[in-house]
Chain A
Amino acid sequence: MSGEQSNSARNYELAHAEVAHQLPSGGWLDTLRREALARFGRQGFPTRRDEDWKYTSLKSIEKQRFVPATGAGAEPDAAWLDQCRIEGLEAIRLVFVDGFFDAGLSAIGELPEGVRVQSLAAALADESEPLKGRLGAVADEDMHRFAALNTAFVADGAWLHVPADVELEKPVHLLFVTTADDTPRLVQPRVLVSAGRHSKLTLIEHYADPAGASAFTNVVTEIDAGEGARVEHYLLQEHDSAAYHVGSVHVAQQADSAYVSHNVNLGGALVRHDIHPRMLGEGAHTVMNGLFLVGDGQHVDNHTRVDHAVPHTGSDEYYKGVLWGKGRAVFNGKVIIHRDAQKTDASQYNGNLLLSPMAEIDTKPELEIYADDVKAAHGATVGQLDEDALFYLRSRGLDARAAREVLTFAFAGDVVARMGLAPLRERLEAAIAQRLPGGGLA
Chain B
Amino acid sequence: MLNIKDLKVTVENTPILKGLDLAVGAGEVHAIMGPNGSGKSTLGHVLAGRDEYEVTGGSVEYQGKDLLDLEPEERAREGLFLAFQYPVEIPGVNNTYLLKAALNAVRKHRGESEVDAVEFLQLIKDKMKIMDMDESFLSRGVNEGFSGGEKKRNEILQMLVMEPKLAILDETDSGLDIDALKVVAEGVNALRREDRSIVLITHYQRLLDYIKPDHVHVLSGGKIVKSGDHTLALELEEHGYDWLKKEAASA
Chain A residues in the interface with B (C-beta under 8 A): 386-389, 391-400, 402-403, 406-407, 409-411, 413-414, 442
Contact = CB atoms under 8 A, between A and B. Distances in A.
Contacts of B101: 396-398, 402, 406, 442
Given A406-B93, A442-B101, A396 B162 contact: yes
Contacts of A442: 101
A153 B142 CA distance: 53
A-B pairs with lowest CB-CB distance, top 7 = A410-B92, A397-B105, A396-B102, A394-B72, A397-B76, A392-B88, A394-B73
Contacts of B158: 396
Contacts of B52: 387
A359 to B, nearest CB: 20
A439 B72 CA distance: 22
Q: Mostly helix, strand, loop or mixed at chain A's interface?
A: helix
- Greatest chain B CB density within 10 A among A387, A395, A397 is at A397
B84 interface: yes
Given A410-B92, A411-B92, A392 B105 contact: no
**Residue of A395, A403, A407, A413 most packed against chain B (CB within 10 A):** A395
B155 to A, nearest CB: 10
Interface string B125-153: 00000000000000001100000000000
B93 to A, nearest CB: 5
Given A386-B88, A392-B84, A406-B93, A400 B71 contact: yes
Interface string B65-98: 0000001110111000110100110111100011
A438 to B, nearest CB: 15
Nearest to B87: A392
Contacts, number: 73
A386 B90 CA distance: 9
Contact of A388 (B81, B88, B109): B88
Nearest to B99: A396
B218 interface: no
B68 to A, nearest CB: 15
A389 B81 CA distance: 16
A391 B51 CA distance: 9
Contacts of A389: 88, 90
A407 B90 contact: yes
B108 to A, nearest CB: 9
B50 interface: yes
B93 A396 contact: no
A256 B5 CA distance: 73
B106 interface: yes
B88 A414 contact: no
Contacts of B187: none
Given A400-B71, A442-B101, A395 B82 contact: yes
A389 B50 CA distance: 12
Contact of A393 (B71, B75, B82, B98): B98
Given A393-B90, A395-B49, A400-B73, 9 more contacts: A389-B90, A391-B48, A394-B72, A394-B73, A395-B73, A397-B76, A398-B105, A410-B93, A442-B101
